[in-house]
Structure 1
Amino acid sequence: MDRMADLGKSRGGGVCVMVNNSWYNNANVVTLARSCSPNLELLTLVIVNTAYIPPQANTDTALLKWEAPVHQEVTRWTAVAVLQDALDDVDWDMFWRSTDDVSEFIEAVVGFIVKLVDDTIARATIKKFPNQKSWMDKTIREALNSLTAAYNVGIISGNMDEYKSTSYGVRRAVREVKQRYRRKLESQF
Structure 2
Amino acid sequence: PTKRTITTWPEDSLPRLQDCFEHTQWEALYHEVLATFTDVVLSYIKYCIGNVTVEKCIRVFPNQKPWMMSQVRMLLRASDSAFRSGDRALYSVNRADLRRGIRTAKAEYKRRIEEHLNNPRQVWQGIQTITNYRGHAVTPGDSDTGLAEELNSFFARFERVLCVVNPRKATGPDGVPGKVLKACAKQLSQVFTDIFNFSLVRAVIPSCFKSAIIILIPKKSPTTSLNDFRPIALTPFITKCFEKLSPSNSLASTSLQTSTGRSTPQRWSRRPSSGYTS
Verify same fold: TM over 0.5.
no
> In terms of Rg, which structure is larger?
1
What's the TM-score, normalizing by structure 2?
0.31
